[in-house]
Amino acid sequence: MIAKNLEEIGNILFQQEKYDDALNFYQQALTIFEENCPTDHIEIANCLQEIALVWNSKADYDRAIEYFERCLCIRETSLSLDDPVITDTLLKLSLIQEKGNHRELSLAYEINYCLMHIKFRPLDQITIGDSFSRIGQHYEHLNELKLAIDYYKRALSVFQDYLPEWHERRINMELNIERLSKETTI
């Protein structure tokens, strides 16, 4: 109960953008959780995520990644693989790895995120299309233009099935494919 209260105070401070104070309360909560719960307890994972979010807000991406990776390990051990919390954690890791300029690692997390969505949430097609688009962006930044085009085409295929033709996502994918197709033929 004390740890949860400390975590709640941390949440309030985080919302007020008092990151150092929030971090202090989250660390206290984490210490109590680690002393009183099994190492794979979900409350530990949740507290690790809160700490990771603080580090992300402070633009210390390496520390944010460290805490998110610990969080992910616990969640993969404690939860069913089809739990949406796991895919959400993978997406957060991908986005933070990208902010930290770790493109290859970001790509790996994004691919895992996408594969888990395809396997466990196949009806969530727009989200899968968005993931294909982000994978294409990663490949484009890594100068793997043919792979980028392939994933942009996958995203476009999803968007054509589920979005109107005037939708920004469809138009962006069409423009990306056209632009990269010209670059690869030069």
Q: Mean pLDDT over residues 140-151, rounded?
A: 97
Q: Angle at the Cα of 54 (from 99 to 8), degrees rounded to 5? A: 150
Range of the domain at 138: 122-185
pLDDT exceeds cutoff 90 at 119: yes
User: CA 67 to CA 71: how far, in whole Å?
Assistant: 6
Cα 122 to Cα 136, 168, 171, distances in angstroms: 20, 23, 23
CATH number for 71: 1.25.40.10
Q: Which of 68, 97, 121 is the last residue of a domain?
A: 121
Q: pLDDT band at residue 186, thresholds of 50, 70 and 90? A: low
Tens digit of each residue's pLDDT (9 = 90 or more) over 75-107: 999 999 999 999 999 999 999 999 999 999 999
Percent of the chain beyond pLDDT 70? 99
User: CA 52 to CA 38: how far, in whole Å?
Assistant: 20
User: CA 136 to CA 130: how far, in whole Å?
Assistant: 10
**Residue 47 sits in the same domain as residue 70:** yes
**Residue 178 sits in the same domain as residue 97:** no
User: CA 134 to CA 142: how far, in whole Å?
Assistant: 12
**Residue 5 sits in the same domain as residue 76:** yes
pLDDT exceeds cutoff 80 at 185: no
Measured from the Cβ of residue 172, the count of other Cβ atoms closer than 10 Å reads: 15
3-state secondary structure of 58: coil
